[in-house]
Amino acid sequence: MNSKILKVAELSCNSSSRFRKIYDLGGQVLATNSAPTIFHLANQVNSETEDLTTHKFSIVNTSTGTYNDTKLTNDYISIIPLTLNLQNKAKATGLIGVHAISHIASDPTPAFLKSNGINSVPVSVAYGFTASGYGFVGDMGYGYVHEFVKSSMAGKVVRFRGGYGSVWEKISESVEMKVVCNARVVMVRRDGDGVCVEVEVGEKEGVEFEFDKVIVSGSFALGRGKVYRSPLETKEEFVNEAMDLSDLEKELFSKVETIDYYTTVLKIDGLDHIPVGFYYFEEFMDDPNTIGNPVAMQRFYSDTNIFLFWSYGNSVDIVGETVIQLAVDAVTRMGGKVKKVILQRRFKYFPHVNSQEMKDGFYEKLENQLQGQKNTYYVGGLMAFELTERNASYAFDLVLKHFGSDNAEPSFPYVKVQNS
């Protein structure tokens, strides 16, 4: 997984190492009782968490700079019975990832909730979903909203001390296999016998690794594909320069949209009254015409004036610089002054399909026809939903399903090796 971590040394005005802080730019928050796989992994490498229960979850108004606490708990309680019911139904299917819920909850969110006796999406759920980069709830099949809710509702909210990246670093050091870091995969070639992966490792080009099977993660396979709420209509045939795709891969990946999502880090004076926590910008939370403006902001530490902002772009005329300017404008309206733009990261985020594709059996084909074809398996947000726990548990489930066996005997003849 991507560490998405920023180690900021120059943050303190005293530029002392005493003030060094670590900020997660991507995956950060976990609900303790909703993330058994991640905590299982983290426990193996003794990673510790820190409590975020004192962090505020508030709605901020940029014209006044004031904030009000969200009714997080009440809103989630109202949706628990439906969530538990869907969770049981999904479990009974024996299917993995989003596939399990795609049969049951493919309708667009407002229609699905109405048919289940709920008039509208509870505000904290809708704001949490949109602020987390999953688009506007009205655009999404309920299956995705369900995955978000079930992973957010149980247990106290925590993050890893030392950032998420520290967990992945410890895990990669602890496994008995070679982990190649700082490498870029430039080509994946597949034939009947196996898979050849061509990689640039640092300055070294053309390094090749041979495998029997490959498991592709993240959005690598999706090439330049469709972007959520982009004004551009993609009519060309779907291609991925780094992989020679089969017809089935092209057919399925051409239906997938990703979200143009940004983390922008700003150093700000004049917002000292804002406590540590997460703030949702109500005015940009449900109108697609406001895309580009920040949907959420986080004060990470009380003793620095560094704030993180999350925003959507549209990959065409609302991209990096515009996104920064709109975040700066929001800060100015709130009475703050941006001293420095520290950095910005852009994510090809939350691969998903529309409600109709979900209904028409997209996930059925993905799991039953695509997985394993051409010695290739896929893990990541498309199959699992874009959250660390969902991705980690899906990866375990996929390996168990396709590579595990109930048979205690190995599938090859046992050969005794005599040491000389």
Residue 127 neighbours by CB under 8 Å, 6+ apart: 59, 70, 280, 282, 285
For residue 319, how far is the Cα from the chain centroid?
Answer: 19
How would you label 294-320 residue by residue, b for 16+ Cβ within 10 Å and e otherwise?
bbbbbbbeeebbbbbbbbbbbbeebee
Cα distances (angstroms) measured from residue 87 to each of 95, 152, 292: 12, 13, 34
Q: Which is nearer to ligand FAD, 180 or 232 (CB)?
A: 180
For residue 264, how far is the Cα from the chain centroid?
Answer: 16
Taking the complex as a whole, the smallest distance from the CB of residue 349 to ligand FAD amounts, in Å, to 5
Q: Which is nearer to ligand FAD, 23 or 261 (CB)?
A: 261
Residue 210 neighbours by CB under 8 Å, 6+ apart: 194, 195, 196, 197
Taking the complex as a whole, the smallest distance from the CB of residue 413 to ligand FAD amounts, in Å, to 36
User: Which DSSP string corresponds to 334-357?
Assistant: TT-EEEEEEEEEEEEEEEE--HHH
Taking the complex as a whole, the smallest distance from the CB of residue 293 to ligand FAD amounts, in Å, to 16
Q: Measuring CA to CA, which residue among 220, 184, 185, 188 is closest to residue 202?
A: 184
Taking the complex as a whole, the smallest distance from the CB of residue 318 to ligand FAD amounts, in Å, to 17
Q: Which is nearer to ligand FAD, 121 or 296 (CB)?
A: 296
Instruction: Calculate ∠ Cα 220-224-228, nearest 5°.
Output: 100
Please give the DSSP secondary-structure letter assigned to residue 63: T
Q: Which is nearer to ligand FAD, 112 or 371 (CB)?
A: 371
Q: Which is nearer to ligand FAD, 27 or 163 (CB)?
A: 27
Q: Which residues bind ligand FAD (CB under 6 A)?
A: 1-2, 26-30, 133, 183-185, 217-218, 220, 261, 263, 310, 347, 349, 380-381, 386-389, 391
And the tokens for 116?
A: 């289940």
Taking the complex as a whole, the smallest distance from the CB of residue 381 to ligand FAD amounts, in Å, to 5
Taking the complex as a whole, the smallest distance from the CB of residue 17 to ligand FAD amounts, in Å, to 27
Q: Which is nearer to ligand FAD, 28 or 354 (CB)?
A: 28
Taking the complex as a whole, the smallest distance from the CB of residue 364 to ligand FAD amounts, in Å, to 21
Query: How many CA atoms lie within 13 Å of 162's alpha carbon, on the beta-carbon side?
Result: 11
Taking the complex as a whole, the smallest distance from the CB of residue 395 to ligand FAD amounts, in Å, to 8
Q: Measuring CA to CA, which residue among 387, 391, 1, 386 is closest to residue 164?
A: 1
Contact 96, 397 (CB under 8 A): yes
Q: Which is nearer to ligand FAD, 113 or 265 (CB)?
A: 265
Q: Which is nearer to ligand FAD, 261 or 280 (CB)?
A: 261
Taking the complex as a whole, the smallest distance from the CB of residue 394 to ligand FAD amounts, in Å, to 9
Q: Which is nearer to ligand FAD, 29 or 285 (CB)?
A: 29
